[in-house]
Structure 1
């Protein structure tokens, strides 16, 4: 069992790997305690230690321990409209959200834990059309700030900015605007990958936050 004060361990990855191999309700019911100890409790402890770091940017980022709708994403998949009918996610999604995360599209800090695919993410993932317009208007108003953030050497050395683009800009955007690359972005999020050793052995928060 994970000791108080520890975050994710090798058992976290073992559980998620086992879940991928036994993705059914009977197996999960028999191993639910492992999810609670090695995923949920570890993720919430990580967030409690991590939250002071985003506060350097804004005091509005919070740790939300609610079992539903909080910082930790549900492990159950919504299979209603998916061809993939596996009932559970074989990864853990853990975020430090803005306090208004239930009301509007807002930035988040996110850690994705998955054997062979762990990463941290920052920014806005797939904001809706009104929020996209708000972001574009801000870029038009202050293009220097956008370029400075996008091209910052410390940022680009560790983070990869999402490359997903809309097929065309939203109505009202000039198709030959010099910043059309920003206007056609589908998201304003970036990520940085980690290996298993960093995830399970390195307890220095700087390993996760130096590239902020």
Structure 2
């Protein structure tokens, strides 16, 4: 198991979030980025064993830029103080479900699902819950899954969504606006490099949840890759 320098770099960046500092430490940043790309490649390889289209993605298709878009933000710091990767058919800009890895000192986690889908996509997911709510409930409460991830996360409506009765047996799921599960990852797991193995195991466990959302949206893998 190899140590990873990612958190050390992010800690330093958090304390020195400026273009001058980044320019002076460009080689360090590129070294850390290269390590992240190697780890993302390993995760992609594991995902592609179950879903072959993941093999079409390059690691750089999954990781996010370090630069922040400060045009419409009160926070004018130029760089993100985390590193992250989103594994989805179509890459990080995909509108479909995916698997997510977030690395940040004291705030790392693995997870996945779909965050704040557009209205038409949300409607499809709710329709699938209406039809197959028991299946989703079984996925989320499978002992191994629930022990690892806990309950589903995401913003919820205060009342039942339009077109669904307040006595619907799966109202608690219909009220969600996002459909996310996650699990914290310790700094030690990141620093040791164990997060790669942990992410692969988490994403494997999450696969039925991912497939439920993918089926709900009704996009085949071939079509999704063209998004």
Instruction: Tell me, yes or no, whether TM beats 0.5.
Output: yes
Q: Which has the higher contact order (CA 8 A, sep 6+)?
A: 2
Q: Give the structure 1 partner of residue 6 of structure 2.
A: 12
RMSD between superposed Cα atoms in Å = 2.4
Structure 1: gaps of 5 or more residues: none
Deviations 1:88-121 (A, max 9, x none): 100101122213664x521111111111111111
* 1:75 equivalenced with 2:66 (yes/no): yes
Alpha-carbon offset, residue 82 of structure 1: 1.6
| Pairs aligned (count) | 201
* 1:138 equivalenced with 2:131 (yes/no): no
Judging changes above 3 Å, is the alpha-carbon distance between structure 1 residues 170 and 100 closer, same or farther for their aligned structure 2 residues?
Answer: farther
Q: Give the structure 1 partner of residue 198 of structure 2.
A: 207
Q: Give the structure 2 partner of residue 61 of structure 1.
A: 54
Q: Distance in 1 between matches of 2:92 and 2:161?
A: 24
Q: Give the structure 2 partner of residue 87 of structure 1.
A: 78
Q: Distance in 1 between matches of 2:167 and 2:73?
A: 37
Judging changes above 3 Å, is the alpha-carbon distance between structure 1 residues 27 and 58 closer, same or farther for their aligned structure 2 residues?
Answer: same
1:181 to 172, 181, 185: 172
* 1:149 equivalenced with 2:139 (yes/no): yes
Q: Give the structure 2 partner of residue 119 of structure 1.
A: 109
Greater percentage in helix: 2
Structure 2: gaps of 5 or more residues: 206-227
Alpha-carbon offset, residue 190 of structure 1: 0.9
Q: Give the structure 1 partner of residue 224 of structure 2.
A: none
Alpha-carbon offset, residue 167 of structure 1: 4.4
TM-score of the aligned structures, taking structure 1 as reference length:
0.83
Alpha-carbon offset, residue 60 of structure 1: 3.0
Q: Distance in 2 between matches of 1:116 and 1:101?
A: 24
